[in-house]
Amino acid sequence: MHNNLKTQFCNLSLNSPIILLSGCVGFGKEYTRIEGFSNKDVGAVCLKGTTLEPRLGNTLHRVYETPEGMINAIGLQNPGSNVVINEILPTLDKSETRFIINISGSSVAEYGEITKLFDDTDIDGIEINISCPNVKEGGVAFGNDPDMSYRVVDICRKNTSKPIITKLSPNQSDIAVSAQRCIDAGTDALAVINTLMGMVIDTKTRKPIIGNNQGGLSGAAIKPVALLKVHQVYQVSKQYNVPIIGQGGIISANDALEFIIAGASAVGVGTALFYDPLVCHKINNGISQYLIDNNLDTINELVGTLELNTIY
């Protein structure tokens, strides 16, 4: 891998700017067992969303393919924080990549409690999921209320010295206001964006296909929305040197480059892995070649270089 891909993010040294998104690779083994996979292609792996107690998740169906994307409503199925800490984290190969835990709570206090548990582990960072649209309690209310977002980030900040990444919801009126509040509360980085809320209907039964009625839309279909949100958040975050993970529909090197130009210091890859598990290697090669072609030494020189059109 070319040296120009090495990235600093929240004082973490990453092999590349690519971060595998939470929920798309489980707790890592769903990805590492694929022939041809290399952790060297990945800057960090964001592990599956974890709650304090075990969760069985939502009823079926939980995943449905849509044009240029997919809707999912898994419902944060996971074995709970203690199992993740005691049984899963010790099995991760931390020699080549970084690992970030994704946490979700149903109350402000629960977020703080989970954060404190993971602060005592060797996990590299903590991503706060305040915006998951698949859970009936907690996620939507927290992520779409800037003041509630502040409270969640604030209690997590008080319970850890590890890097905190706050995952912002696109399903709100002004994402920049929410970003500002999360920065005020002490987040180290922002993940932009989580899934858009959507629905699919079976015309024969006239019922939603997703058991939870609605779910999170991801994939190439949401990229234009995600790009705009990254641009909007960057106008706030750049004042505080708070980096962004740009995510939402990245399936190629050109997609990743668009997010970096819009203001992202790292890029999240998720849904693309379902149909091209080795896409990260291709994305890295494309980014590296772009930097060479444009006489750039590092990705950092490209971050936020978007030049807006003059509007008369």
Of the residues 10, 46, 132, 280, which is catalytic?
132
**Amino acid (one-letter) located at 254:** N
Query: CA of 216: how far to CAs of 56, 140, 147, 229, 280, in Å?
Result: 18, 11, 23, 16, 23
Query: What number of other Cβ atoms are within 10 A of residue 300's Cβ?
Result: 14
Note if 24 is an active site residue. no
Query: CA of 144: how far to CAs of 132, 140, 170, 171, in Å?
Result: 10, 6, 8, 7
Element containing residue 228 per DSSP (H, E): helix 223-237
Rounded Cα–Cα distance for residues 199 and 204 (Å): 16
Length in residues, the chain? 312
Rounded Cα–Cα distance for residues 282 and 278 (Å): 7
> Phi and psi (nearest 5°) for 300?
-55, -30
Which burial class, exposed, middle or buried, applies to 259 when counting CB atoms under 10 A from its CB (0-12, 13-18, 19+)? buried
Q: Annotated catalytic sites, by residue?
A: 132
